[in-house]
């Protein structure tokens, strides 16, 4: 039971990093991306590939994953500079589908559908994080750093510029803000920190394949942000905790036959979402906003 809780807590930490980084571009830059799992996947594949081919050094894996994801984030930044709202959602969806295909077909790097197996535990300075409790500590510290860094950015002048662009891009331009650069920076930050979660994920599980990085995952991350509260500090964390623990909690309902759990889960999910959007449209941590 303890091992099971440690496992859940580790996944909560990883999901929280994903939700925080997605919330950063959704809530503060107004970029609604359905391609967040792409950068999660890029981080995971880069880490696994490096671990299998060269080194188990966590810091090197992190560095490489952040750089690669940051560069690929240009694929998201370019459409984000040209189109807004619904059109961007469609563009990011296309990017997500494309990337999932690359993950499953580029066999020499990603291992194809089967994925990459036997990823050795990551190490820092020769100390390997093989023990799940130690790894949970690592994930928790990383999450704390991400929270602190992201909150600092949101409260800085860059954060205010992002919010200004979200609220009125044309006004931000008219007041001398380099909207293209600011958006590109924010997408770069979001993607590269998202890749950090991917590195942790690959090193923790020791096995990855495309199933964790599809549109389903992207949708789940977006749900975490919306359920928790877009544009709030604690919202994405609350959302990540709830949507990670809910499926686990449902398996404990005694009256459910094991074979039906999947579909019952989906129904409870859907029902909860509908109720939430009716009674708390700004998310659980959301502040009521005035009329638009």
- The reply to whether 292 sits near another protein by the rule CB under 8 A is yes
Please report how close the Cβ of residue 179 comes to another protein at its closest, in angstroms: 7
Query: 57 forms bridges with which residues in the sheet?
Result: 123
Q: Which stretch binds another protein (CB under 8 A): 7-15, 57-65, 171-179, 199-207?
A: 171-179
Site for another protein in 41-100 (CB under 8 A): none
Please report how close the Cβ of residue 174 comes to another protein at its closest, in angstroms: 5
Q: Which stretch binds another protein (CB under 8 A): 6-14, 175-183, 214-222, 252-260?
A: 175-183
Q: Which of 63, 89, 164, 246 binds another protein (CB under 8 A)?
A: 164
User: Would you tell me how many other CB atoms lie within 10 Å of the CB of residue 3?
Assistant: 9
- The reply to whether 108 sits near another protein by the rule CB under 8 A is no
Q: Which of 53, 108, 157, 259 binds another protein (CB under 8 A)?
A: 157
Size of the site for another protein (CB under 8 A): 28
> Assign residue 206 a region: left if phi > 0, alpha if psi is -120 to 50, beta otherwise?
left
Give the C-alpha separation, 39 to 31, whole Å: 15
Q: Which stretch binds another protein (CB under 8 A): 153-161, 187-195, 234-242, 266-274?
A: 153-161
- Residue 280 in 3-state DSSP? coil
Question: CA dihedral in degrees (40, 214, 226, 148; nearest 10)?
Answer: 0
- The reply to whether 161 sits near another protein by the rule CB under 8 A is yes
- The reply to whether 175 sits near another protein by the rule CB under 8 A is yes
Query: 70-76 — which CB contacts under 8 Å span 24+ positions?
Result: 70/188, 70/191, 70/192, 70/195, 72/38, 72/39, 72/42, 72/191, 73/39, 73/187, 73/188, 73/190, 73/191, 73/192, 74/184, 76/31, 76/33, 76/35, 76/187, 76/191
> Assign residue 30 a region: left if phi > 0, alpha if psi is -120 to 50, beta otherwise?
left
One character per residue 220-239, x = contact with another protein (rule: CB under 8 A): -----------x--------
Task: Please compute Rg for the chain using Cα positions.
Answer: 19
Q: Which stretch binds another protein (CB under 8 A): 84-92, 123-131, 142-150, 173-181?
A: 173-181
- The reply to whether 182 sits near another protein by the rule CB under 8 A is yes
Q: Which of 59, 90, 149, 181 binds another protein (CB under 8 A)?
A: 181
What residues make contact with another protein under the rule CB under 8 A? Answer: 156-158, 160-161, 163-164, 166-168, 170-179, 181-182, 185, 231, 289-292
């Amino acid at each position: 039971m303890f091992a099971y809780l440690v496992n859940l807590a580790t996944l909560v930490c990883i999901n929280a990093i994903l939700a925080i980084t997605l919330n950063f571009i959704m809530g503060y830059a107004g970029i609604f991306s359905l391609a967040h799992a792409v950068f999660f996947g890029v981080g995971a594949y880069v880490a696994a590939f490096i671990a299998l081919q060269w080194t188990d050094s966590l810091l090197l894996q992190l560095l490489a994953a952040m750089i690669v994801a940051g560069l690929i984030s240009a694929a998201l930044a370019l459409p984000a500079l040209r189109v807004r709202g619904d059109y961007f959602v469609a563009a990011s969806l296309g990017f997500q589908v494309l990337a999932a295909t690359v993950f499953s077909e580029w066999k020499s790097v990603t291992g194809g559908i089967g994925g990459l197996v036997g990823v050795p535990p990551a190490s820092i300075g020769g100390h390997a994080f093989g023990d799940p409790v130690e790894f949970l500590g690592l994930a928790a510290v990383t999450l704390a750093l991400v929270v602190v860094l992201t909150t600092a950015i949101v409260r800085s002048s860059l954060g205010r510029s992002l919010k200004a662009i979200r609220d009125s891009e044309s006004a931000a331009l008219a007041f001398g803000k380099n909207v293209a650069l600011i958006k590109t920076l924010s997408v770069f930050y979001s993607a590269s920190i998202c890749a950090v979660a991917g590195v942790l994920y690959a090193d923790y599980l020791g096995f990855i394949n495309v199933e964790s990085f599809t549109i389903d995952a992207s949708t789940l991350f977006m749900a975490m942000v919306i359920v928790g509260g877009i544009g709030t500090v604690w919202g994405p964390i609350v959302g990540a905790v709830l949507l990670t623990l809910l499926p686990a909690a449902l398996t404990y309902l005694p009256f459910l036959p094991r074979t039906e759990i999947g579909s019952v889960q989906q129904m409870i999910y859907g029902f909860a979402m509908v109720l939430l959007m009716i009674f708390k449209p700004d998310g659980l941590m959301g502040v009521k906003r005035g009329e638009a």
